[in-house]
Amino acid sequence: MENQELQIKYIECPTCSGAGVLDDKRCNKCFGQPLMAWTGKVLLYWGKRIDKATIYQDNLKSAFKFFIDSILLFIATAGLIFGFRHFLVLQQGFIPLWQFYKYPSWSLLIFWVSLLFDGYLFYRLEQDYERFKIRIYQHPNNQSMMHHAIDWTLARDLGKNYKRNVSKTFSKEALDAITKSWKYAVKYKHSEILPLHLLISLFQYQQTRIVFGRLGIDNKKLKEKIRTNFSNIKLPPATNTIFSKDLLKVLYEGYLIAYEEHGKKVEIVDILVALIKIENPVKEIFYDVEIDLDKMSNIASWIRVRKLMYLRLQRFRKRASLKPKGNVNRAMTAVATPMLDTFSQDLTVLAKYGYLAPCVGRKDEIASIFRMVEGGPRKATVLVGNPGTGRRTIIEGIAQLMAEEQVPEAFQDKRLVSISLAKLIGGVEPSVAGKRLLITLNEVIRSGNIVLFISDIHNMIGITSGSEEGSLDLAATLASIMSRSRLTVLATTTFQDYTKYVENSALGNVFDKLEVSEPHGNEAIQILEAKTGAIENKNNVWFSYDAVEKAATLSDRYLHDRFLPEKAIELLEETAIRVHRERGKDSIIKGEDIAQIITEKTKIPLTKITESESDKLLNLEQIIHQRMVDQQEAVNMISASLRRARAGLREGKKPIANLLFLGPTGVGKTELAKTVAEVYFGSEDNMIRLDMTEYQDQSSIYRLIGDTRTKQAGFLTEEVRKRSFALVLLDEIEKAHPDLINIFLQVMDDGRLTDASGRTIDFTSTVIIATSNANSIYIQNRVKQGAGAVEIKNELMEQGELVKHFKPEFLNRLDGIIVFKPLSLEDVEAIANLQLKKVAASLELKGVFLEVTPAAVAELSKQGYDPKFGARPLKRVIQEKVTDSLTNLLLEEKLGRRDVVTYDIGGNIKIKKADT
Amino acid sequence: MQKKWEQNLALSTLKYLSIDLVGDFVYWPVWWFSFGAKKWGFFCLQKLKDAENRLGLRIWFFNLTTPMFAQYDWQGRMISFFIRLIVLVFKTIAFIFYAIFVIALFLLWFILPLFVIYQIWINLNHLISIKS
């Protein structure tokens, strides 16, 4: 019900309409409280006047208080000194000290009087403490009030219980900051205190600096923004400086944030969050430096969690001090458990001495476990979840609660003991292991103060001494004892092992199942925030919020084999170690550092685009054309989609691009794919090439994604799993079995594929290019008739030619179908030039320079040109005519270093010897 | 003009503070025997509760008939009952002593100011009588 607080409704003073002043004088209806806020349950108002007189008075008051307290302290000290003097005198007269009061003296009189004043001092300190203790109280939960429409007169008449003087709940620092903001406004003769004044004054406090430090923003830019905004403030000059409406709204909002977070006082972080929640110029400033509400709220909760963990640690130490450290419980009903002690570890003792990491969040899971064990028919729970999702942390959280005795009765005065299966089973026959288990369980039952924890319980299944089918294994032994004795057992297993082994075994009947899901988004971020403290201390570095957020989001998206929060925590640790090594002590870890590490792991470019890379991206077409001739449309389309992917402007759940290249053989389809692999993915090796002619029957599907029966991994899934940043080339796709193409439908749509062993393979960082020779005759004919590539593509689609080869759903999922034109003689000439350059390059390694005359190039192109086979024959021609003759010359040792070879028409080769 | 305003304000504030101080001084005994006493009482009660928790008095009382160290045979039960009884008696005695101490502490709150005033009175009387 707590969160049902309605949207705040602001109520303005009708006389001054919320301005607080009338004709340059304080409004005499609202007395400087022009704006109140109705939350649906209580009325918020700002009861503290801040002006010259009150500030002056406050200062005077604290000086006066300091003066009185000093006098009292002086009296107390004097009393002590005179009391001591009295004792000395008594001692000289050999009078027993306990009779000190029987011998009156001036010293004693001063001592007694000072004692009386000490009482008064104690009273004053207590009163101060009481005032300081005023905190945010629970709002009354009166449903009938919720829908009341409240206006100014009604609001003023509300009962005391429904009103909250917000100013009383602000922490000393927060109040101080507000006073400072008033001073700023007065200094610059502004008639109103704006949120901007408040922001400026907040910067003088440690907490604000921590927040902005964690945000890792450019301080210079922020200050610049604030400065320009400040100089733009245009307010009429006035004698009175009062709270602006926006500021009051911010203060009310700050109160509500603190209230919802169960804070005791409104702290500076709450005000910072409120500044971004309420529409005002400060919000715009924050947006300009890339701070949004989500970021700010998460930072605030980070700071709160830190504080809470510190408080919790103090409380924990006190409470856990009573937990016994041995085997015996406080009621002394337990027995010695020698066998159990050999094979186990006492988690409650570890918790008592503070060896376990705190468990953050996970309240629901722990409550469910308690509920299941307390109320359920079975007293055992198995936590089912993927490795790294925090199952063990939940168990350790329970151990800590048990050390504090903050647990339901079934767990009270007990210890949580983790059995190590490895120790129990290790190095002995199954029959011995079985015997050990029986003795251990017997000890547990007799002792009666033990909650067992078995990690990876599925490992117990199948360990049996009997050879026949149906003989009892360790798991069945445990199950049968559990069903008879109502042992309390907690266990963990994974989803796969649960369905495969546990569910249908004897264990399935004695355990309740609790699924532990992988935390995502804000939940994961908050878990990480709680973990950062230890990592920061160990490595002497600081995490910015951006780093924590990136660790959660990027690892979620790009590291697929493992699970949150573990993978993100390890990422943070790894980055911390590296940053400490590279930049030294007290460095701040930014989001970029995290992105860099993920990039190194996955090869996916995630860091911010550098200038040289941005140049490269903008000129992708030219770069590709250094290797590719013509095929303008194809090059443009693929360049555009790569740019989109790198700039982060594509849909996240699909491959970077799904393309179909159509055209006759030898026109550059595969060549373009290779070029893209080299230019964008770093190397031609990052092209995963599947010749679909090899996948013509249905059973070849197993070669592609793996076989569940033979446990053989699939070629495609395995390759993409190893390097998810790659180009997948499906050569001659029309030749593949239709079922295989169906598999690609899912990949093209969702960007993922599940392999035979149940792993999800991520395709979202791949480019999928399918090539096909289908309809190439038609394409050639139409080109001869002078049709353009786009025209031909439209014709193919409209006439349904393509549908003959591909299903419509396949065609629909493609981002682009690109028709490659057959090459013209000019194209082939250009290609010949490119290929000759390659030959020249390899010759240059031997120190020989190759020159080919233009006429020779034309001749070679003519010989190598075949409209049907594109540029393929050209390669052969160049090899036969140029490469082979040069090889012969090299073998005959007619070529020396720095010689220049000129290739001319008719295969004439001239050698110009280098000057010796 | 400015100075005058500040002087006025300072004077009125100091006047207010002095009156407040006197009122505070008068209220102090009232507080001492009402709210202060209540607070002190709760403090002492918490001390008692902590002591009970440390001694495990309640746990031992409710487990009086539960055999120690899981000796469920009748000999075990008997021995354990008597041992528990003896331990409980000792624990109770310890608790009673502590409780007496805490109660004395609680009463000291009320007695101390009166005792101090009485002592001041005696001392003053004595010293004046010497002078005269």
Q: How far B114 CA sits from the closest chain A CA (Å)?
A: 10
For chain B, the distance separating the N- and C-terminal CA atoms, rounded to the nearest angstrom, is 57
Query: What confidence tens digit (pLDDT) does each residue in B6-65 have?
Result: 777 778 878 888 888 888 888 989 999 999 999 999 999 999 998 888 888 888 888 888
CB within 8 Å of A130: residues ≥ 6 apart: none
Evaluate if residue B1 carries a pLDDT over 60.
no
pLDDT of residue A553: 86
Distance in angstroms (rounded) separating the CA atoms of residues A846 and A886? 12
Q: Are the C-beta atoms of A791 and A741 separated by less than 8 Å?
A: no
Separation between Cα atoms, residue A734 and residue A807, nearest integer Å: 10
Q: Is B96 exposed, middle or buried (0-12, 13-18, 19+ CB in 10 A)?
A: exposed
Token pair of A860 as six digits: 């070679």
Highest average pLDDT, of A231-245, A739-753, B101-115, comes from B101-115
Portion 42-101 of B in contact with A at CB < 8 A: 53-54, 56, 59-60, 62-63, 66-70, 84
**What percentage of chain A exceeds 70 in pLDDT?**
94
Nearest CA in chain A to B115: A112
Q: Residue A403 carries which DSSP code? A: H
Closest CA to A485 of A461, A450, A535, A523: A450
Question: pLDDT tier at B89 (50, 70, 90 boundaries)?
Answer: very high
Q: What mean pLDDT do residues A85-110 have?
A: 86
- Give the rounded percent of residues in chain A with a pLDDT score beyond 90: 9
- Give the CB-side neighbour count of residue A718, counting CA atoms within 13 A: 14
Put simply, the answer to whether A116 touches B119 (Cβ < 8 Å) is: no
Looking at the predicted structure, is the pLDDT value of residue A2 above 50? no
Across the interface, do A334 and B9 touch by the CB < 8 Å criterion? no
**CA neighbours closer than 13 Å in the CB half-sphere of residue A320:** 22
Residues of A in contact with B127 (CB under 8 A): 104-106, 109
CB contact under 8 A, B59 and A413: yes
Q: What is d(CA A580, CA A587) in angstroms, rounded to the nearest whole number?
A: 7
Q: So what's the pLDDT on residue B48?
A: 92
Give A8's DSSP letter: P
Return the higher-pLDDT residue of A71 and A21.
A71
Please state the rounded mean pLDDT for residues A492-502. Answer: 87
Contacts of B124 in chain A (CB under 8 A): 109
Query: Which of B28, B66, B124 minimises the CB distance to A120?
Result: B28
Query: Which pLDDT score is estimated for A471?
Result: 64
Q: What is the mean pLDDT of residues A136-159?
A: 72
pLDDT in tens, A517-550: 888 888 888 888 888 888 888 888 888 888 888 8
Q: Which of B113, B117, B123 has the CB atom closest to A109's CB atom?
A: B123
Closest CA–CA distance from residue A447 to any residue of chain B (Å): 6
Q: pLDDT of A565-589, one tens digit each?
A: 889 999 999 999 999 998 888 888 8
Test B63 with A106 for CB contact under 8 angstroms.
Answer: no
Whether the pTM exceeds 0.80: the reply is: no
A437: pLDDT strictly greater than 80: yes
Most confident of A123-127, A259-263, A425-429, A529-533: A123-127
The model's confidence at residue A37, banded by pLDDT at 50, 70 and 90, is confident
Which has the minimum average pLDDT: A864-873, B68-77, B100-109? A864-873
Cβ-defined contact of B56 to A112 (cutoff 8 Å):
no
Residue of B8, B40, B57, B123 to mutate when probing chain A, most A C-beta within 10 A: B123
Question: SS in 3 state form for A294-354?
Answer: HHHHHHHHHHHHHHHHHHHHHHHHHHHCCCCCCCCCCCCCCCCCHHHHHCEEEHHHHHHCC
Question: Are B10 and A332 an interchain contact pair (Cβ–Cβ within 8 Å)?
Answer: no
Give the gap in angstroms from C-alpha B95 to the nearest C-alpha of chain A. Answer: 17
Is A334's CB within 8 Å of B25's CB? no
Task: Give me the pLDDT at residue A78, please.
Answer: 94
pLDDT one-digit tens code per residue, A663-718: 877 777 888 888 888 877 778 888 888 888 888 888 888 888 888 777 778 888 88
pLDDT category of residue A887 using cuts at 50, 70 and 90: confident
Following DSSP, what letter does each residue of A734-791 receive, concatenated? GGS-HHHHHHHHHHHHHSEEE-TTSPEEE-TT-EEEEEE-TTHHHHHHHHHTT--HHH
> For residue A71, what pLDDT is reported?
94
DSSP H or E segment with residue A391: helix A391-404
- Interface mutation target, options A333, A409, A412, chain B, most CBs of B under 10 Å: A333
The tens digit of pLDDT for each residue in A111-147 reads 999 999 999 999 999 988 888 777 788 787 766 666 5
CB-closest option in B31, B54, B70 to A123: B31
Banded pLDDT at A1 (limits 50, 70, 90): very low
3-class secondary-structure state, position A894: coil
Using a CB-CB cut-off of 8 Å, the residues of chain B touching A335 are 69-70
Q: Where are the beta strands (DSSP E) in A755-890?
A: 760-762, 767-772, 816-819, 849-852
Dihedral sign (CA A780, A786, A792, A796) = negative
- For residue B39, the chain A residue with the least C-alpha distance is A126
- Asked if the Cβ–Cβ distance from B13 to A448 is below 8 Å, we say no
Q: Is B36 within 8 Å of A116 when comparing Cβ atoms?
A: no
Placement of tokens 């393979």 in the chain: A761
Which residues in chain B are contacts of A447 at CB distance < 8 A? 70
CB contact under 8 A, B36 and A123: yes
Q: Do B24 and A330 touch (CB under 8 A)?
A: no
Q: Do B119 and A322 touch (CB under 8 A)?
A: no
Q: What does the angle CA B85 – CA B88 – CA B89 come to, to the nearest 5 degrees?
A: 85
Burial (CB count within 10 angstroms: exposed 0-12, middle 13-18, buried 19+), residue B89: exposed
Cα–Cα distance between A810 and A816 in angstroms, integer?
11
What are the φ/ψ torsions at residue A711 (nearest 5 degrees)? 65, 15
| Between A607 and B2, residue with greater pLDDT | A607
Is B127 near chain A, with CB under 8 Å? yes
Within 13 Å, how many C-alpha atoms sit on residue A24's CB side? Answer: 6
Return all residues near A212 (Cβ < 8 A) that are at least 6 apart: A219, A222
Cβ distance A116 to B67 less than 8 Å, yes or no, reads no
Of the ranges A26-40, A155-169, A487-501, B68-82, the best mean pLDDT one:
A487-501
Q: 3-class SS at A832? A: helix
Position A186 confidence tier, pLDDT thresholds 50, 70, 90: confident
Kindly state whether B21 is in contact with chain A, defined as any CB-CB distance less than 8 angstroms: yes
Span A423-431, average pLDDT = 83
**Do residues A714 and A756 touch, judged by C-beta distance below 8 A?**
yes
Taking the C-alpha atoms of residue A830 and residue A861, their distance in angstroms, rounded to an integer, is 9
- Can you point out the beta strands (E) in A129-281? 163-165, 192-193, 242-243
The angle formed by the CA atoms of residues A471, A473 and A476, to the nearest 5 degrees, is: 100
**Does the structure show a pLDDT above 70 at A610?**
no
- Residues in chain A with CB shorter than 8 Å from the CB of B17 are 60-61, 64
User: Residue A502 is encoded by which pair of tokens?
Assistant: 């546990």
Domain ranges of chain B: 34-131
Mean pLDDT of chain A: 82
> What are A96's two structure tokens?
């027993």
- Highest mean pLDDT: which range of A40-54, A145-159, A193-207: A193-207
CA distance A271 to A287: 17
Residue A566: CB atoms within 10 Å: 18
pLDDT exceeds cutoff 80 at A14: no
Q: Hey, which residues does A21 pair with through a beta bridge?
A: A26
In the prediction, which pLDDT does B105 show?
93
Mean pLDDT of A786-794: 75
Tracing tokens 């004693």 back to the chain, one arrives at A108
Tokens of A101: 């009061």
Residue A3's pLDDT band (cuts 50, 70, 90): very low
Is there a contact between B63 and A119 if contact means CB atoms under 8 Å apart?
A: no
Whether residue B128 lies within 8 A of chain A, CB to CB, comes out as: no
Query: What's residue A69's pLDDT?
Result: 92
Whether cis (ω within 30° of 0) applies to the bond prior to A873 is no
Please tell me which residue of chain B has the smallest CA distance to A329. Answer: B69
Q: How far is A342 from chain B (nearest CA, A)?
A: 19
Provide, as residue numbers in chain A, all residues whose Cβ is less than 8 Å from the Cβ of B56: 330-331
Give, in order, the Cα–Cα distances in Å from A680 to each of A599, A641, A748. Answer: 14, 11, 20
A332–B69: do the CB atoms touch at under 8 Å? yes
Would the pLDDT of A620 be above 50? Answer: yes
Residue B8's identity, in one-letter code, is: N
Residue A623's identity, in one-letter code, is I
- 8 A C-beta contact, residue A735 and residue A692: yes
User: Which pLDDT tens digit goes with each residue over A355-409?
Assistant: 887 777 788 888 888 888 888 778 888 999 888 888 888 999 899 888 888 888 8
Distance from CA of A454 to the nearest CA of B (A): 24
pLDDT bin (cut points 50, 70, 90) of residue A839 is confident
Q: Between chains, do A113 and B69 touch, taking CB under 8 Å as contact? A: no
CA distance A113 to chain B (A): 7
Torsion from C-alpha of B64, B70, B75, B77, nearest 10 degrees? 20
Residues of A in contact with B28 (CB under 8 A): 119-120, 123
Q: What is the mean pLDDT of residues A229-237?
A: 80
> Would you call B124 and A109 a contact, using CB atoms and an 8 Å cutoff?
yes
- 3-class secondary-structure state, position A264: coil
Q: What is the nearest CA distance from A456 to chain B, expressed in angstroms?
A: 30
pLDDT of the residue at A207: 86
Q: Which of B4, B90, B119 to mutate to test the interface with A (most CBs of A within 10 A)?
A: B119
